[in-house]
Amino acid sequence: MQRSISILGATGSVGASTLDLIGRERDKWRIAALTANGNVTELARLAREFQPEVVVLANEAHLPELREALAGCDVEVAAGANALAEAASRPVDLTIAAIVGCAGLAPTMAAIEQGGTVALANKEALVSAGDVMIAAVARHGATLLPIDSEHNAIFQCLAGNQLSQVRTITLTASGGPFRGWSLERLEAATPQQAVRHPNWDMGAKISVDSATMMNKGLELIEAHHLFPVRLDQLDIIVHPQSVVHSMVEYRDGSTLAQLGPSDMRVPIASALAWPQRMDTPCKPLNLAQIGQLTFEELDEVRFPATRLARQAAEAGGAIPAVLNAANEVAVAAFLAGQIAFTRIAAHVEEVLSCYAPANPLCLADILAVDEEARKMARGLTESA
């Protein structure tokens, strides 16, 4: 029997890995929606190859171009925020939430509200919406499956166990491209250096987040919502080889870990096939060849982002949305050559210092906080 799937953020790195797997067992899937921001050429190519019901661009300005590129094809074409939410709310068996940033929040919530299964890569959405998203999952009887490799690892290590028996959950971090760098060198780090991750091939934004370690900070908050243990039970350890994707330690002293190649198709496959398993073309893990797995402490002096994220998680409410919004703006400014690498975390800290915890009650509250924090962060980057 065919299963139906929508991919939000189909033209990105996670979108491409997902479609690579789908393409290998094409007859098992019916594709409902494929979405992108403004990459017309790639979205049109995917539409021809995968024959979805509908393709949507978030950016309306490119709609005429997409219509032209798909003239004569039997596929609906749409654009804009409402069209994106409408496409995301079409009932499917599985939605892959792989838009980058808080821009993915509204469509992801629209998918959750259908009560189906949502495989989440878009960590910024969960970081920003936190309790509101988790409450919506419960209210609509939806299932949230983590695709982020660490959270997928934890999800697998928790299977058949109870959260109440967990002592600690440890997220592993590669340490990114600047792991051994001095503060002076970090000051001068360029966007090209920041996006060159040693182990993973990812989109630009998450690559910069990995370089600042904000990725691990966002993942700490993500883990806190997905696996509700106390914050002091959540740990981070640097593991440069990215072979152990995370670990769960139980009260009896047993630690379960999930290992695998650093290829996103492994956690994506786990979500696509869940609760079964499927084949992937990924190179098997060769531990003898890798030889050594090493672990080291975080350095929050050179990489303050994880400290800021932990503080935001402790404050709760709207503060993680502020952290995320300020970070998105600062990362974009760094990629555009407007601010230095080390200013990313500094800007985030400055924006956070202007906020007192407040409890967002609904999606609109979060989007308002997100917008306001972005304005504040833009003010800082423009005056930098």
Chain residues binding ligand NAD by CB under 6 A are 9-15, 36-37, 39, 58, 98-100, 103, 121-124, 148, 200, 202-203, 205-206, 264
- What residue 305 binds from ligand NAD, Mg ion, none (CB within 5 to 8 A, per partner kind)? none
Residue at shortest CB range from ligand NAD: 12
Question: Strand 54-57 relative to strand 255-259: parallel, antiparallel, unpaired?
Answer: unpaired
Quick check: 148 binds Mg ion (CB under 5 A)? Answer: yes
The nearer residue to ligand NAD, 214 or 248, going by C-beta atoms, is 214
CB of 148 to Mg ion, least distance (A): 4
CB of 164 to ligand NAD, least distance (A): 28
CB of 320 to ligand NAD, least distance (A): 14
Q: Which of 72, 342, 57 is nearest to 194 (CA)?
A: 342
Q: Which of 248, 252, 260, 198 is nearest to 223 (CA)?
A: 248
The nearer residue to ligand NAD, 116 or 267, going by C-beta atoms, is 267
The nearer residue to ligand NAD, 151 or 343, going by C-beta atoms, is 151
- What residue 123 binds from Mg ion, ligand NAD, none (CB within 5 to 8 A, per partner kind)? ligand NAD
Per CB under 5 A, the segment of 26-34, 148-156, 265-273, 338-346 that binds Mg ion is 148-156
The nearer residue to Mg ion, 267 or 360, going by C-beta atoms, is 267
Distance of CA 236 to the CA centre of its chain: 17
CA distance 2 to 23: 14
Strand partners, 235: 170
CB of 202 to ligand NAD, least distance (A): 3
Q: Residue 77 in 3-state DSSP? A: strand
Quick check: 124 binds Mg ion (CB under 5 A)? Answer: no
Per CB under 5 A, the segment of 46-54, 95-103, 110-118, 149-157 that binds Mg ion is 149-157
The nearer residue to Mg ion, 117 or 149, going by C-beta atoms, is 149
The nearer residue to Mg ion, 62 or 151, going by C-beta atoms, is 151
The nearer residue to Mg ion, 148 or 263, going by C-beta atoms, is 148
Cβ neighbour number for residue 260 with a 10 Å cutoff:
21
The token pair at 317 is 């409410």
Q: What is the amino acid identity at position 175?
A: G
Kindly list the distances between the CA atom of residue 187 and the CA atoms of 131, 345, 346, in Å, as whole numbers in the listed order: 36, 12, 12
Residues 6 or more apart in contact with residue 264 via CB below 8 angstroms: 13, 14, 17, 147, 149, 200, 202
CA distance 33 to 30: 10
Quick check: 263 binds Mg ion (CB under 5 A)? Answer: no
- 150-189: which residues touch Mg ion (CB under 5 A)? 150
- 154-158, Cβ contacts within 8 angstroms, sequence gap of 24 or more: 154/223, 154/226, 154/227, 154/246, 154/248, 154/258, 155/226, 155/227, 156/258, 156/270, 157/246, 157/247, 157/248, 157/256, 157/257, 157/258, 158/227, 158/248
For residues 280-298, one letter each, b for 16 or more C-beta atoms within 10 angstroms of the residue's C-beta and e for the rest, the string is beeeeeeeeeeeeeeeeeb
- What residue 263 binds from Mg ion, ligand NAD, none (CB within 5 to 8 A, per partner kind)? none
The nearer residue to ligand NAD, 128 or 170, going by C-beta atoms, is 128
- What residue 121 binds from Mg ion, ligand NAD, none (CB within 5 to 8 A, per partner kind)? ligand NAD
Point out which residues bind Mg ion (CB under 5 A).
148-150
